[in-house]
Structure 1
Amino acid sequence: MKVVVASQNPVKVNAVLKSFRQCWPNKIEGKAISVASGVPDQPMGEEETRQGAVNRARAARELVPSADFYVGVEGGVQQIGERLFAFAWIAVSNHETVSLSRTGAFELPPQLSRLVMEGMELGDADDLIFKTKNSKQQNGAVGLLTRDLVTRQSLYEQAVLLALIPFLNEQLYPQSQNQLS
């Protein structure tokens, strides 16, 4: 089974492939490709973030039409009142349907929130505040804030598994339910 991950970020690739291998052991061939999300580098809000994940899966399907599955992962933030929360949307597609899932959300501290709201991408803000380098390809904000009790990869893994539910239970989900057009 060939799975195309619509990112070359090792955190996203590893999360996707680990989740697929939990469902289909020894049957997964992974391919990572770089595609545009079609949304800003730092998506703001649920809709923009979800659309980025769907756009990534769609672009992967167009570039590698011979695969069995395409996965888009898009991290974003949502302001609720004075607070800013981070999360990600996952889009898993085959050639007929797309399944969506979302990670849990976590509140960003005021220092990070301020930088992101001023236009900085969350990963860059993490690196500035925590004095790290390229944290978005490592443990991410969630890892830095939880002392790696939850990492960016582990946060994504559960959401990928949840997005695979319709493919694990095809008899319960009509293929026409969600088209990836």
Structure 2
Amino acid sequence: MNASTTKIIVASTNPVKIDCTRQGFAEMFPQSKLTISGVSVPSGVADQPMSRAETIQGATNRARHAAQAHPGADYYVGIEGGVEAVDDLLEVFAWVVVLHGEMIGKAQTGIFYLPQEVADLVRQGVELGEADDRVFGRENSKQGNGAVGLLTDDAITRTSYYVPAVILALIPFKKPDLTWG
């Protein structure tokens, strides 16, 4: 990227997803002037994706839907959080998908596990953010520090949790001279 303005559309109006995108792009392309906006588009998957496959599909769908609905941006970013049952536990993670023309970058966050109090609600069909709010007595935590912030006492917030995955999803655009699938 050069010093001209780079237009980025995040496929969400959630301030956490917009902020982590801003931080990730700024880290990877510090010389670029960034214009970032969020748009509401469907994920095409369940409100609470219950597998890696469904979660990455949701992130991909969001980025593609944003590109279709708002053509003309340089980059489109889809971020989708999900869970997957492993043994008796629920793993939590998110996928980040970045589109730029015909190129695509993808990365997953780190994984952590939910306490049974939250996991039981999610297994009953409650979205993770709502389950967190019920267990921790919060309101709208998914637009704040999220499960990871609640469980780590903000040592890692939802924003800081997503930033590395945004950075990793940008690798193909940082190194376009290499071959990327």
When normalised by structure 2's length, the TM-score is 0.95
In structure 2, the partner of 1:127 is 133
Measured against aligned partners, the alpha-carbon deviations of 1:89-129 in whole angstroms (never above 9, x if no partner) come to 00001111111100001000000000000000000000000
Measured against aligned partners, the alpha-carbon deviations of 1:52-107 in whole angstroms (never above 9, x if no partner) come to 00000000100111000000000000000110011000000111111110000100
Between the aligned partners of 2:105 and 2:29, the Cα distance in structure 1 is: 17
Measured against aligned partners, the alpha-carbon deviations of 1:14-69 in whole angstroms (never above 9, x if no partner) come to 00011111222341111110000000000010000000000000001001110000
Which of 28, 31, 49 aligns to 1:23? It is 28
Between the aligned partners of 1:167 and 1:124, the Cα distance in structure 2 is: 35
Aligned to 1:171, the other structure's residue is in SS state coil
Measured against aligned partners, the alpha-carbon deviations of 1:123-160 in whole angstroms (never above 9, x if no partner) come to 00000000001000000000000000011111100000
Aligned to 1:99, the other structure's residue is in SS state strand
Aligned to 1:28, the other structure's residue is in SS state strand
What letter corresponds to residue 26 of structure 2 in structure 1?
R
Which of 75, 85, 92 aligns to 1:69? It is 75
Task: Structure 1 unaligned segments of length 5 or more: list them.
Answer: none
In structure 2, the partner of 1:148 is 154
Between the aligned partners of 1:24 and 1:2, the Cα distance in structure 2 is: 13
Q: How does 1:35-54 map to 2 (within 5 A)?
A: 35-54=41-60
In structure 2, the partner of 1:139 is 145
Runs of 4+ with deviation above 4 angstroms: none
Between the aligned partners of 2:21 and 2:76, the Cα distance in structure 1 is: 10
Aligned to 2:80, the other structure's residue is in SS state strand
Between the aligned partners of 1:17 and 1:63, the Cα distance in structure 2 is: 21
Between the aligned partners of 2:54 and 2:169, the Cα distance in structure 1 is: 18
What letter corresponds to residue 90 of structure 1 in structure 2?
V
| Equivalent residues, number | 175
Q: How far apart are residue 6 of structure 1 and its match?
A: 0.2
When normalised by structure 1's length, the TM-score is 0.95
Between the aligned partners of 1:166 and 1:94, the Cα distance in structure 2 is: 10
What letter corresponds to residue 3 of structure 1 in structure 2?
I
In structure 1, the partner of 2:10 is 5
Between the aligned partners of 1:70 and 1:47, the Cα distance in structure 2 is: 20
Task: Structure 2 unaligned segments of length 5 or more: list them.
Answer: 1-5
Q: How far apart are residue 167 of structure 1 and its match?
A: 0.3
